[in-house]
Amino acid sequence: MAIAYVFVGLFGLVLGSFLNVCIHRLPRQESIVFPGSHCPRCHHRIRWYDNIPLLSYLILRGRCRDCRARISPLYPAVEALTGVVLVLTFQQYGLSAAFIKYALLVMLLIVLIFTDLLTRRLPHSITGLGIGLGLVLSFFIPVDDRPLAWLGRLWDIYLEGTAGSVAGAVLGALAGGGLFYVVGEAFYYLGGKQKEYLGFGDVMLMLMVGTFLGLPLTLMTILLGSLGGSVVALGMTALSSRYRNYAWPYGTFLGIAAICTCLVGGRLLDFYLRWSGIAG
């Protein structure tokens, strides 16, 4: 079993290297295929032995072999993060279809977390792909629809199996994306149409999360993301006044919350359902 964890971790490092390309190029609307990996300063093509995740960065001491320009520590950080998160996802779901589904989601989220953090952009090419994948996968890998099923029984509506999963994915998307759209429009008009408080990228992000996670875990993501963002924003503002008018990347907090929900959301939902009496 330990070998499986090692394999997943190493594979995650390799995938993290590809995610770095997406993070760097997609906000600039550049191809993620051509040209090949190259130094952004001297434009020399990166040799294969200088492109080994983590190891090459350490050997080169964080500098380009040709021009000695500094390589951002973000690159090994994303590689390491991807490896760790995929190992944690594997630990949670094992070798299963659910692991593949949530591994795809967390990798999409890692790209969005960093593009929003660095450029305040949530590329539609990622969120649109994620929405499509989430809907398709809901036909084969069920979303968590337990509270939805409980409400359905109260109203004599019974959706089980594939129908319940797809309905849960659609409702999760509508709840997540719809809520952010309504709130964003309200702030926009209340602010005199002068400032966009929530961009359409956030709406697309929550549409994507909703199709993968379903209604209850999508609402949990919004709760955790809002709490996390508020704590960080208030804490940083208290430490320094320069953060008072800082444009916080809400999508980054939502992405982190969604990854946490993938890993522990099911257990938190179990606890709530038992505490509320919905589940025995």
pLDDT in tens, 225-280: 999 988 998 888 888 777 777 788 989 999 999 999 999 998 888 887 777 666 54
Provide the pLDDT for residue 243: 75
Question: What percent of the chain lies above the pLDDT cut of 70?
Answer: 87
Is the pLDDT at 207 greater than 90? The verdict is yes
* Neighbour-count burial of 66, counting CB atoms closer than 10 A to its CB (0-12 exposed, 13-18 middle, 19+ buried): middle
Q: What is the pLDDT of residue 188?
A: 66
Residues 76-103 have a mean pLDDT of 96
pLDDT at residue 191, rounded to an integer: 60
* 138: nearest Cα among 82, 41, 226, 214: 214
pLDDT at 7 over 80: yes
User: CA–CA separation, 67 vs 85, rounded Å?
Assistant: 33
Tell me the average pLDDT of the chain.
87
* pLDDT at residue 68 tops 90: no
pLDDT over 90 (residue 38): no
Q: What is the tens place of the pLDDT at every residue in 128-144?
A: 999 999 999 999 998 87
Classify residue 130 as left (phi > 0), alpha (psi -120 to 50) or beta.
alpha
> How far, in Å, CA of 3 to CA of 97, rounded?
19
pLDDT at 110 over 90: yes
Length of the chain: 280
pLDDT > 90 fraction of the chain, expressed in percent and rounded: 54
| Residues 216 and 268: beta-carbon distance below 8 Å | no
- Using the predicted structure, report yes or no on whether residue 59 has a pLDDT greater than 80: yes
